[in-house]
Amino acid sequence: DTEVTQTPKHLVMGMTNKKSLKCEQHMGHRAMYWYKQKAKKPPELMFVYSYEKLSINESVPSRFSPECPNSSLLNLHLHALQPEDSALYLCASSQDLDTNEQFFGPGTRLTVL
Amino acid sequence: AQTVTQSQPEMSVQEAETVTLSCTYDTSESNYYLFWYKQPPSRQMILVIRQEAYKQQNATENRFSVNFQKAAKSFSLKISDSQLGDTAMYFCAFGGTSGTYKYIFGTGTRLKVLA
C-alpha cells in the first residue's frame, strides 16, 4: 500500500464549530506532515511529526491542534477557525525525517463560513 | 536560507510536443535533493521525478527527464510527447539534508496541454 488517505474530502464549517481532519498511511512511514495550500500557491508547512512526536510547529495559530495517536494516523483538530483559514489541507508522509521523499494525500478542501 | 524560483507562471504546449519547465535554486549545502511534483485539478500532489545532488547523471522517468546543472543551481524538467493528462500545476521543491526537514517549494508553473 503506497497511499496516503485523507478524510473528509470536503468540509464546510462555521466559525464556532469544532471539526477534525484525518490522515492515514500504511507504508510504515515514521514522519508525517500537515500542509496548508491556498489556491495557485505552493503548500505551506504547518506541522511535522516524527515517531509520533511533534518535531516542528511552524508558528501555527492554536486554533489548529495536531495529534498523532499512532504511527499510521495523523489528525488535525479545528476550532474557532476564521474564513481566511479556508484552504486545501494536505497531509504527507515520509519514511523518516532524513528521507527526502514525501508522499502526499489527496487533501481536504476546507471552507470556513 | 534556501530559495527556489520558478520563473514561468504559465506555459502551454501542443499535444505530442516537448516542453521544458525551469527551476533555479540557491543553497549553501553540498548535498540535497530536488523534486518535481505535479498537481492536477484533482489536487493530489504527485511526485514526478527526484534528483540527488551528489549524482551527476540526470534523472529520467519515462517521458519526464531533468537537466540538473549543479554549478548553475538549475533543475529544469523536460516533458516529451506531452499528453492531455499532463495538464497540471508543477512545483519544483528543494529538500535539504542538514536537518531542516522541510521542503522549499517554488511558486509553481501552470502547464496546459492543448489538443
Which of B33, B91, B110 has its CB closest to that of A100?
B33
B50 touches chain A (CB under 8 A): yes
- Contact assignment for A104 to B107 by CB distance below 8 Å: no
pLDDT tens readout for residues B2-53: 899 999 999 999 999 999 999 999 988 888 899 999 999 878 899 999 999 9
- Contact assignment for A106 to B101 by CB distance below 8 Å: no
How far is residue A39's CA from residue A14's CA, in Å, rounded to a whole number? 20
Rg of chain B (C-alpha set): 14
Residue B43's pLDDT is what? 82
User: Looking at the predicted structure, is the pLDDT value of residue A19 above 70?
Assistant: yes
Please check whether residue B50 is in contact with residue B33, taking contact to mean a CB–CB distance below 8 angstroms: yes
Averaged confidence pLDDT in chain A:
93
How confident is the model over B46-75, as a mean pLDDT? Answer: 93
pLDDT tens readout for residues A77-92: 999 999 999 999 999 9
Please give the share of chain A, as a percent, with pLDDT higher than 90.
Answer: 81
- Contact assignment for B43 to A56 by CB distance below 8 Å: no
Other CB atoms within 10 Å distance of the CB of residue B46: 13
User: Looking at the predicted structure, is the pLDDT value of residue A66 above 70?
Assistant: yes
How far is residue A52's CA from residue A30's CA, in Å, rounded to a whole number? 7
Residue A2's pLDDT is what? 63
Coil, strand or helix: which one is A3? Answer: coil
- Contact assignment for B103 to A45 by CB distance below 8 Å: yes
Write the CA distances from A109 to A89, B52, B103, B104, integer angstroms: 6, 33, 22, 22
Residue among B72, B73, B35 nearest B51 (CA): B35
How far is residue B45's CA from residue B92's CA, in Å, rounded to a whole number? 12
User: Looking at the predicted structure, is the pLDDT value of residue A46 above 70?
Assistant: yes
Residue B31's pLDDT is what? 85
